[in-house]
Each structure stands twice: as C-alpha cells, then as structure tokens.
Amino acid sequence: MKITSTILVSTLFLAGVLLTDDQPMAQDACDEGASSYKLMIHVSENRPNRVTHKGEDATDFYVCNGDEVEWQVVGSGKQFWIDFINGAPFSGDGKKNSNNNGKVSVVIGGEAQSYKYDIGIVDGGVLDPQIIIRD
C-alpha cells in the first residue's frame, strides 16, 4: 500500500511539473495564430515602476511574430514613450510616443530573440523591461 501511494504522489508531482508553465499568459505556442496583448504601465511619482499583463509581471514578456502589443499607463492620461535602442521587434522606428489616447501599439515582426527597451514617462523616469520573440 505504501509503495502504491508513493507512486501516486510521484506521478501527481511529475504531472504538476510538466503542466506548470513559469512564463506569463502570453507564452502560448506561436502556431496558434496571432494574439493581442495589453501591457499596463504602473507609475508612481511620475516614474514607471512595473509593467503587467492581466495583473502578472511582464518585465520579460514573450510574444510571437504577428502578435499585437499595446502599452498603456494605468489610471492616468500620462504621455509616455517606448524605445527599442538596439533594434526593434517591429518595422519602422524603434521609438514610439503614446498617441492621443495614451497608448502605443505595434505588430511584432522580427528575429526570435530578446529585445530590451525603455518605457519613459514624459518629464519623468524610465523602466527597462524586454520583449522576447519565440521561434
């Protein structure tokens, strides 16, 4: 009986490990088609202090080519910018300013790699998360 319960507990543990994904919700396989993601910028004292997706940390955020990513400051109309200094994961200029609605939106299209970027509040501070494009 003790061997049977040990096997059952081991099997359940292994199943839990295999089914657990340590990456944010945007981490689904790229073969499922393009998705849209809203990243929320949290600001304190005119400085961005974190970026989230559906309440979860999005400092390292995984996407696929063809996905749309939108950034917006939580709870205010603060103007901001994003700047991919060493190459952008989308076509065009790597620096984007928020539009009149306080948003920046891009369609991902680039090599599968990590892209560090800055989020800056106009007349305020800067945060430096990254977007990672999956294969």
Helices and strands (DSSP H and E) totals, the chain: 1, 12
**CA-to-CA separations, 88 to 53, 79, 131, in angstroms, rounded:** 20, 21, 10
- CATH number of residue 91's parent domain: 2.60.40.420
Establish if 94 belongs to a structural domain: yes
Instruction: Give the model's pLDDT for residue 98.
Output: 96
pTM of the model: 0.78
Dig out the tokens for 62 from the structure. 């995984």
Q: Is 91 left (phi over 0), alpha (psi -120 to 50) or beta?
A: beta
In this structure, the dihedral spanned by the alpha carbons of residues 68, 65, 43 and 98, taken in order and rounded to 10 degrees, is -50
Instruction: Give the model's pLDDT for residue 38.
Output: 97
- Report how many domains make up the chain: 1
Establish if 15 belongs to a structural domain: no
Instruction: Give the model's pLDDT for residue 13.
Output: 41
Instruction: Give the model's pLDDT for residue 23.
Output: 43
Establish if 85 belongs to a structural domain: yes
Establish if 99 belongs to a structural domain: yes
Instruction: Give the model's pLDDT for residue 1.
Output: 53
Instruction: Give the model's pLDDT for residue 60.
Output: 97
Dig out the tokens for 110 from the structure. 């680039």
The single residue listed with the structure tokens 């809203």 is 38
pLDDT per residue rounded down to tens, the chain (135 residues): 555 454 444 444 434 433 334 444 444 579 888 999 999 999 999 999 999 999 999 999 999 999 999 999 998 778 999 999 899 999 999 999 999 889 999 999 999 999 999 999 999 999 999 999 998
Residue 95 near residue 81 (C-beta atoms within 8 A): yes
Measured between alpha carbons, how far is 51 from 74 in angstroms, rounded to an integer? 10
DSSP secondary-structure letter at 113?
Answer: S
Measured between alpha carbons, how far is 92 from 83 in angstroms, rounded to an integer? 12
Establish if 10 belongs to a structural domain: no
- Full residue range of the structural domain in which residue 126 is found: 24-133
